[in-house]
C-alpha cells in the first residue's frame, strides 16, 4: 500500500504570533492528537516525516535578500524603527508590538516542509542527499518504500507573504517557493488551488505573468474580507493573462455553492490545462462559524473539497498532489475540518460529525449568486480557455 507523506516538524510550534493573536501554534498538536484518535490504524495510511529547515538560497527564489535579513534580525529581538516597511501590524505580537522571537526560524521550517512535500510528490521519495542529511526521516519512524503521490504539509499555505513584505500572518510564502522549486525541477505545468477563505494575494503576484502556473483562488468576496484583492477581473498579465482565476464567493456561500464552482470552473480549467502536479492550500477558515470569516462551509463541505481534489488529481496529474494546511481560527472546529479535507483527499472513512451543524446556513445558501458569478467569470475567461467558448 502506498502511504501518504505527512510532514510536520515540532519546531513549527514556534510559528505563533503571541497571546491574543488569532494565529497560535497549538493548532498543529490539537489536530495530530485528534486524527490519531480518529484513525487507530493511522500508521498504515501515513508515513510521518520530520522535514528540515530551508536555506536563504531557497527563500530567495521569491523573497528579496534584504527582506530575509530584516526578518532574521527582527526575530532575534532587534528593534527596527522601519519595521513597517517590511511587515504589517498583524504579523506582530499584539502584546509587545514586535515580531515574535524565533518566528523567522519557524517560518523557514514551514518552507522546508512544503519544499520537501513537493519533492516527495515529484520523485516519490526524498532524495538520497535528503535522507542522509538533517535527520529527515527520524529513525523511530522510518518511511519504507517509494511511490508517494500525495504529501500533506502541516503549517503550509502562507499565501499572503510578498517578495518584499510579510502580511496576513505570513512571513515567507511557502506556496510560491514550493511551486518555484518544482518549476526549477522541470515541472512545466502546475495548478495551485487556493481554498483559503482569504484571497492569496502574495501567490497571485508571484505568478501574475507566468503561464506555467494556473492559479485558481476561491475565496470570500474581497469587498467584505482582507486582503481586499481577488476580484473576477484580476486575471494576470502578459504571458500569464488568463492564468490567474479568482472566484469571489458571497458571504454565507454553502457546500452547494462550492460544489457548483468545482463542477463549472475548476474541473473544466484543470482538464484543459493538464497540470503535472496540483498544489492545494487552505485550512478551516471557510467554515461558517470560523470567527474571522463569513463563508458557509460545513464539515461535509470540507470533505467534499478533499474528494474533488482527489478526483481532479486522478484525472489530470496521475494522482500527484501537495496539500498545505494551516489556516482556521475556530480551534474547536479546526481538527474536524482539517481531518475532513484529508479524509476526502485520501478516501478515508473517518466519522466526523459537525459540532455546530444546527447553526449552519441553508444547503443552497449563496448558490444563486454564485451561479451569476460563475457566468460572469466564464465570459471573462472565454478568450483564454476553450472550455468556456
pLDDT tens for 70-90 read 999 999 988 888 999 999 999
CATH for 4-388 is: 3.40.800.20
pTM of the complete model: 0.94
Q: What is the pLDDT of residues 189-240, one digit of tens each?
A: 999 999 999 999 999 999 999 999 999 999 999 999 999 999 999 999 999 9
Q: What is the pLDDT of residues 299-343, one digit of tens each?
A: 999 999 999 999 999 999 999 999 999 999 999 999 999 999 999
Residues 6+ apart with CB under 8 A from 81: none
Distance, first Cα to last Cα, the chain: 42
Mean pLDDT of 113-122: 96
CA distance 308 to 375: 21
Residues 6+ apart with CB under 8 A from 273: 189, 191, 214, 316
Residue 267: all three cell numbers together: 474541473
CB 233 within 8 A of CB 241: no
* pLDDT for res 138: 37
Examine the pLDDT at 92 and tell me if it is beyond 70: yes
Least confident of 48-52, 276-280, 293-297, 355-359: 355-359
* pLDDT for res 99: 93
Asked if the bond preceding 368 is cis, omega within 30° of 0, the reply is no
Examine the pLDDT at 129 and tell me if it is beyond 70: no
Average pLDDT over the chain reads 92
Amino acid at each position: 500500500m502506498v502511504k501518504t507523506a505527512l510532514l510536520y516538524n515540532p519546531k513549527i510550534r514556534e510559528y505563533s504570533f503571541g497571546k491574543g493573536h488569532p494565529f497560535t501554534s497549538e493548532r498543529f498538536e490539537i489536530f495530530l492528537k485528534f486524527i490519531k484518535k480518529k484513525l487507530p490504524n493511522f500508521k498504515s495510511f501515513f508515513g510521518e516525516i520530520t522535514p528540515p529547515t530551508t536555506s536563504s538560497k531557497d527563500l530567495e527564489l521569491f523573497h528579496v535578500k534584504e527582506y530575509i535579513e530584516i526578518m532574521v534580525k527582527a526575530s532575534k529581538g532587534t528593534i527596527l524603527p522601519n519595521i513597517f516597511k517590511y511587515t504589517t501590524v498583524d504579523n506582530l505580537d499584539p502584546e509587545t508590538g514586535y515580531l515574535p522571537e524565533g518566528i523567522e526560524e519557524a517560518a523557514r521550517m514551514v518552507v522546508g516542509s512544503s519544499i520537501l512535500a513537493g519533492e516527495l510528490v515529484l520523485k516519490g521519495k526524498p532524495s538520497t542527499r535528503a535522507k542522509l542529511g538533517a535527520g529527515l526521516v527520524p529513525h523511530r519512524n522510518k518511511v519504507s518504500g517509494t511511490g508517494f503521490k500525495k504529501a500533506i504539509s502541516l503549517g503550509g499555505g502562507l499565501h499572503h507573504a510578498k517578495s518584499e513584505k510579510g502580511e496576513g500572518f505570513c512571513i515567507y510564502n511557502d506556496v510560491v517557493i514550493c511551486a518555484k522549486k518544482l518549476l526549477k525541477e522541470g515541472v512545466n505545468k502546475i495548478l495551485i488551488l487556493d481554498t483559503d477563505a482569504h484571497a492569496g494575494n502574495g501567490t497571485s503576484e508571484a505568478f501574475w505573468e507566468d503561464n506555467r502556473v494556473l492559479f485558481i483562488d476561491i475565496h470570500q468576496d474581497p469587498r467584505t474580507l482582507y486582503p481586499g484583492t481577488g476580484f473576477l477581473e484580476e486575471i494576470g498579465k502578459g504571458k500569464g493573462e488568463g492564468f490567474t482565476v479568482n472566484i469571489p464567493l458571497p458571504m454565507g456561500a454553502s457546500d452547494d455553492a462550492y460544489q457548483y464552482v468545482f463542477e463549472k470552473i475548476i474541473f473544466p480549467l484543470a482538464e484543459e490545462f493538464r497540470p503535472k502536479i496540483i498544489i492545494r492550500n487552505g485550512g478551516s477558515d471557510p467554515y461558517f462559524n470560523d470567527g474571522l470569516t463569513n463563508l458557509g462551509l460545513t464539515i461535509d463541505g470540507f470533505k467534499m473539497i478533499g474528494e474533488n481534489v482527489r478526483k481532479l488529481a486522478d484525472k489530470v496529474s496521475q494522482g500527484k498532489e501537495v496539500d498545505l494546511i494551516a489556516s482556521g481560527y475556530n480551534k474547536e472546529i479546526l481538527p474536524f475540518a482539517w481531518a475532513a479535507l484529508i479524509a476526502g483527499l485520501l478516501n478515508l472513512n473517518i466519522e466526523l460529525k459537525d459540532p455546530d451543524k444546527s447553526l449552519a446556513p441553508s444547503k443552497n445558501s449563496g448558490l444563486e449568486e454564485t451561479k451569476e458569478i460563475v457566468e460572469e467569470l466564464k465570459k471573462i475567461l472565454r478568450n483564454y480557455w476553450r472550455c468556456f467558448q
